[in-house]
Structure 1
Amino acid sequence: MFAKRNLLLMGVVLLGSAGLAQAQMSATTATDLDVRTGPGPQYPSVGMATRGSEASLDGCIQGSSWCRIDVNGMRGWVDAEALSVEQNGNPVVVEEHYSQLGVPTITYSTTDQTTTGSVSPSPDDELIGPVSEVDAVAPPTEVRTYITQNRVNTVRLRGNVVVGATLPQSVVIHRIPDYQYSYVEVNRQPVLVDPNTRRIVYVYQ
């Protein structure tokens, strides 16, 4: 009876672990690729994920090669042929083994956003500048702690709060001690900014 109970418990643990693995599916970028605001090359780029970056895979659109991921502080859409998942110790391309991997199916609508803000800009607010490619940034936890402890007034701007977007000259950015990037809060979203180019280099979710 004792052995049987242990086997049953082991089965529960294994089932729970399998469910957890699917909910938190990890993937790796097989090449440098643009992370986009929507499932298609026509959508603007949020930024570039470099080859070999670890990503969290939300799922893919059924009948499409586009998947939504979180990678290097960016959240957006990439082509499944540029993603690989480890299976039995070997990397396999997501697009080629979609069903075998059990990748979740998700949908997309025009209301989907790669970043969220709880302040809605008005038509009179300034517009965020053009989006350019920037190097991926992985800020240390101490930076987030500093931003949390030193809150600033949010700035309302029209446009997508995404990596690579340029902030208007009127926006005051705030220095972070002993760190190369500054910060500001846009539409209640903390972002890191390159003080030289005024481009957003990281968006906190």
Structure 2
Amino acid sequence: MKLTTLTIASVMALGAALPAVAQTTTAKAGTELNVRDQPSPFGAVLGALEKDQEVTIDGCLQDISWCKISSGSMNGWASGQYLYVEENANAVPLVDMSGAAETVTVIQQTEEGTSKTDQNVAATATGTVGALTAFALGGPAGAIVAGAIAGTAVGAAAVEPTEDTITYVTANPVETVYLDGEVVVGAVVPSEVTTYEVPQPELRYLNINGLPVLVDAESGTIVRIVR
């Protein structure tokens, strides 16, 4: 897969711009957020951003589903759904800028042979494939960002994993399940996906897209990514 960066001048606005948002070159992570080597939930994880960590936006895909970011020594791709900018004291997810931000550099995806993403998807043809649902606090997908700003971070009321539970997950790896969507705290795992017991009955675990996670046993909501 070849990624071609289009200059700002070559990007035509598809709608009215969001004044301060459209002109920004920085954003913040609305939750603990993976940084990947390509714009895909199946890309290799290079590191993770802390909640509210500031990043520089080097460019985004046309729909702003993924943005190329840098923060300190970390460079890679992050989900636009969980990056936000502040506008009049409100958190505005970058993904809401799709089609409206003529001053955001657009990175165009073009196929050149078989990409790593293609290979990963092909490898999961016989596995479990579903989708992660963004957990919104009284709003649509993306409200997780606003909730984090307001101090009502998703999972705050969840049972805190003990050291014994973390050790158990690390010592007992399970087969990876591939799901469409970024793996973040607060995302909900489809009910049909198999999860496994841990020492704490309130929690269960599984491996999503290569990342071990603990979920709430009742709701399937991700409460911890075990790194």
**What's the TM-score, normalizing by structure 1?**
0.42
Which structure has the larger Rg?
A: 1
